[in-house]
Amino acid sequence: MSILFIVYSSCLFINNNWITEWKEKKKNENVTEKVASRIIPIVSFWSVKYLPIFCLIWLGMLLLQLQLLIVRELEASGTSLQSSSAIWIGTMAGSVLVVLLLYMLHRKWLPKKKLNAEDSSNILTFIDPNFEDNVNIVNVSNMGGNSKYDFGEKTAREVMTPRLDMICLEWNKSLSVNIETAITHMRTRYPIVNQDKDDIIGFVHIKDLLAKYDHKTTEYQWQQWIRPIITVSDTIAISTLLAMMQKKKTQIALLIDEYGGTSGMATLEDILEEIVGDIQDEFDEDEHEIVRIQQDHYMLSAMLLVEEVNGYFNIGLEVDDMDSIGGYMYANIQFPPHIGQSVVYKRDDEKYIFTIEQMDQLRITSISVKRIQATINCEGISR
């Protein structure tokens, strides 16, 4: 009996110490999913969950020892071998029945259940505590304790940096020129264009450019530091893109539209901002997408998503194939757009007047919104 307890205690020690230490060493490596199926049976077998089964085995061994002791006492008292054998067999049968009965009761108390998605998540979290920081479902502290945030059907197009806003370095430019561009815009990763933004051949990390930079050397072949960039459709789900970035060990992706041209680019930061809100570093300017000018008067960034505008003002703007409020304006005004053009949206006894305030050539950059009491039916009117 003592040997059994020593063996079991040793296994528990291995589980709680050696395997835990191994997990800590491997938690930053992308091997969680690969080894989970192999490690789980080993860990689970010696876990406390299976302590009742061990107790059943121990009880069976105890009953076996008890019956052997009874047989020896009977033989020592002169009882016939036939009688002692019958008692031995009866005791053995009784022990087996007791063990089977206890096992059946154990199965009844702890019935088996099918593994569901939540259980799978819990198992992988046991193997790697950082599992829930991976794909699709993430813990969000600012959304209420242990609540989960699901990306849902949101696509990369909704979080991307549009083509016009992409800061790129050029293949045929010298290192010094590209270094100057990189320092001016203070980004970490820059797409590399060959001819234009529809011909992107990869990206470069600012660390690679600066590592070998020498003011005295102009012939440095910086192109050798260009890394491959993953290319995906701009309609890809954010959760899928995040999983792809994790697998490829990259934080930037090029998004392609339905015609094969560059739609924009998405970074890991863009995806994370969908969870925790706007992330600003030391070099970002303090910009607000919604600014309250006065009572019922607001200024909006044209890049703001229509669904965010709807949520903020509790309205129901609808537009097909457009994501931003700037796109909504384009869909409801006469072309070409110009400063001062307005679109009126009516809801119940209120109306919202969206007006173009700032433009960059043909691009709408800023829109004002005024909320007033509606007096006439003017939904969809533009001027």
Q: Which domains does the chain have, with CATH numbers?
A: 2-124 (no CATH), 156-276 (3.10.580.10), 290-373 (3.30.465.10)
Radius of gyration of the chain (CA): 34
What local confidence, expressed as pLDDT, does residue 114 receive?
47
Looking at beta carbons, which pairs linking 86-93 to residues 24 or more positions away fall under 8 Å? 91/63, 91/66, 91/67, 92/64, 92/67
Residues in Cβ contact with 332 at an 8 Å cutoff, skipping those fewer than 6 apart: 319, 343, 380, 382
What local confidence, expressed as pLDDT, does residue 128 receive?
44
The owner of tokens 């993953």 is 230
Cis amide linkage into residue 336, ω under 30° from 0: yes
What local confidence, expressed as pLDDT, does residue 370 receive?
92
Q: Is the dihedral of CA 331, 337, 339, 344 positive or negative?
A: negative
What local confidence, expressed as pLDDT, does residue 302 receive?
87
Per-residue pLDDT tens digits of the chain, which is 383 residues long:
455 555 555 555 555 555 555 555 555 444 555 555 555 555 555 554 555 666 666 666 666 666 677 667 666 766 555 555 665 566 666 666 666 666 666 555 554 444 444 444 443 444 344 444 444 444 433 433 333 445 667 889 888 988 988 999 999 888 888 888 888 888 889 999 998 899 999 999 988 887 766 655 555 677 888 999 999 999 999 889 999 999 999 999 999 998 889 999 999 988 888 777 666 665 556 566 788 888 889 999 888 888 888 888 888 888 777 788 988 898 888 888 889 999 999 887 889 999 999 988 888 889 999 988 755 444 444 44
Please state whether beta strands 297-301 and 262-267 pair in parallel, antiparallel, or not at all (unpaired).
unpaired
Amino acid at 3: I
Neighbours of 272 (CB within 10 A): 14
Residue 270 DSSP SS3: helix
**Nearest in space to 95 (alpha carbons), one of 42, 146, 122, 59:** 59
Please state whether beta strands 200-205 and 189-193 pair in parallel, antiparallel, or not at all (unpaired).
antiparallel
Give the whole-angstrom CA distance, residue 194 versus residue 56. Answer: 72
